[in-house]
Amino acid sequence: MLNDRKKKILQLIIEDYISTAEPVGSRTIARKYDLGLSPATIRNEMSDLELLGYLEQPHTSAGRVPSAQAYRLYVDNLIEPGALSDNERALINGWFTERRRSLDEIFQSTAKILSRMTQNVSMVLANRDAGARFRYMKFLPLDEHHAILCIITDDGNVDNCVVEIPLGMRPEELDYLAGKISRLLEGRELANISEELLNAVHTNISEDKILFTSLVQSIRKLRNKHMEQRVFLGGTKQLLNQPEFRDVEKVKNLLGILEEERVVRDLLKAGEDSGLKITIGSENKFSGIQDCSMVQATYRLNGQIVGTMAVLGPTRMEYGKVITVMDYLHKYLKTMFETEHK
């Protein structure tokens, strides 16, 4: 479609615009990059590129700005995947080791790093071990009326909640109950502990109806809690570094959207299927961010979606850098998870 020279010029314009945020003129290209062409020639080419829909002019006497179509071509064909500098790599490693006690903190760190490295807002959607299996449950006595119900999954996670128990129930009885239920649910993926199964548990055992209703309720609650997807945001501050958000109104607008966890969740879920997804400007169907671009990467472990991370920013985004960073983070997380889960 475009000859090599046009492509080259377009690429330079895009990259110049990405780094300066200023409309790019023919002279700039001629001066900054040694193409062996005069401004006039470049001007002619730019004129063509505009006609083809790749460039736009904010006004007659400004330079030109890449269109969404140009960015699309750029990320699909022109982009050259870069590598992180040793410095950056060290920075990332440092941030990660700073805090990483729990899964949540790892995801939070991921969001933070992503935003720091890309100077944009980052979002991480963590699927809490959807594949975890029920191992067993156990009661820990608390006082005469209460015990703590613990559910242990095969990845070594414990979820617990307080349940009410009938007065005078002995520990052995509780152990017996726990064992009975455990045998029914053992080895099940939490995701597959359906309502039907819970109901089956309920009817199957008839020792103490009232206690059981509350127990099944608690199991359900813990199951949901364990499976809950969590959203982590990063870089609402970096946002302010982007010239596009010099205007406070725009910032408010975007922050308003990000504040709604539900919206962010939907946004991320929408792009979860493909490994790497880049949405440019109005390609995105969510209102309010149609002048933004989003780069999203979804990661799996044994086929299961572990999480999805995304960077949201102006269409003028360092796509190459973003992809490189995400790639590095992916590898990092991968080894981290694999050693963790042995």
Partner DNA sequence: TGTTAGCACTCTAAAGATATGAGTGCTAAC
Partner DNA sequence: GTTAGCACTCATATCTTTAGAGTGCTAACA
| DSSP character string of 244-267 | GG-SHHHHHHHHHHHH-HHHHHHH
Work out whether 313 is an interface residue with DNA (CB under 7 A): no
The candidate with the shortest Cα–Cα distance to 163, out of 191, 187, 141, 133, is: 141
Q: How far apart are CA 277 and CA 294, in angstroms?
A: 8
Q: Is residue 176 helix, strand or coil?
A: helix
Q: For DNA, give the closer residue by CB, 53 or 58.
A: 58
**Nearest approach, Cβ of residue 44 and DNA (Å):** 5
**Nearest approach, Cβ of residue 259 and a copy of itself (Å):** 6
From 50-58, 93-101, 127-135, 239-247, span contacting DNA (CB under 7 A): 50-58
Q: For DNA, give the closer residue by CB, 238 or 242.
A: 242
Name which of DNA, a copy of itself, none residue 200 binds, using a CB cut-off of 5 to 8 Å depending on partner kind.
none
From 55-63, 102-110, 113-121, 154-162, span contacting DNA (CB under 7 A): 55-63
**Nearest approach, Cβ of residue 27 and DNA (Å):** 5
Name which of a copy of itself, DNA, none residue 57 binds, using a CB cut-off of 5 to 8 Å depending on partner kind.
DNA
Work out whether 201 is an interface residue with DNA (CB under 7 A): no
- Helix (H) or strand (E) holding 56, with range, is strand 55-56
Name which of DNA, a copy of itself, none residue 27 binds, using a CB cut-off of 5 to 8 Å depending on partner kind.
DNA
In residues, how long is the chain?
A: 342
One-letter amino acid identity for 42?
A: I
Name which of a copy of itself, DNA, none residue 23 binds, using a CB cut-off of 5 to 8 Å depending on partner kind.
DNA
Pairing of the two strands 229-234 and 158-164: unpaired
The candidate with the shortest Cα–Cα distance to 224, out of 181, 161, 318, is: 161
Which member of 1, 34, 59, 170 binds DNA (CB under 7 A)? 59
Work out whether 6 is an interface residue with DNA (CB under 7 A): no
Work out whether 316 is an interface residue with DNA (CB under 7 A): no
Dig out the tokens for 161 from the structure: 């909640």
Whether the CB-CB separation of 68 and 280 falls below 8 Å is answered with yes
Work out whether 65 is an interface residue with DNA (CB under 7 A): no
Q: How far apart are CA 308 and CA 306, in angstroms?
A: 7
Name which of DNA, a copy of itself, none residue 317 binds, using a CB cut-off of 5 to 8 Å depending on partner kind.
none
From 26-34, 172-180, 213-221, 306-314, span contacting DNA (CB under 7 A): 26-34
Q: Give the list of residues 6+ apart from residue 44 with CB closer than 8 angstroms, or none.
A: none
Alpha-helical (H) ranges within the chain are: 4-20, 26-32, 39-51, 68-73, 86-98, 103-118, 171-185, 195-204, 209-227, 248-259, 261-270, 319-340
Name which of a copy of itself, DNA, none residue 184 binds, using a CB cut-off of 5 to 8 Å depending on partner kind.
none
Whether the CB-CB separation of 96 and 331 falls below 8 Å is answered with no
Work out whether 37 is an interface residue with DNA (CB under 7 A): yes
Q: For residues 121, 116, 323 and 315, what is the CA-based torsion angle, rounded to 10 degrees?
A: 40
Instruction: Note the residues at the interface with a copy of itself (CB under 8 A).
Output: 101, 135, 138, 140, 142, 146, 148, 150, 152, 156, 158, 160, 162, 225, 236-237, 240-241, 245-246, 248, 251-252, 255-256, 259
**Nearest approach, Cβ of residue 239 and DNA (Å):** 21
**Nearest approach, Cβ of residue 286 and a copy of itself (Å):** 18
Q: Which residues are registered as beta bridge partners of 296?
A: 277, 310
Binding residues for DNA, per CB under 7 A?
Answer: 23-28, 36-41, 43-44, 46-47, 50, 57-64
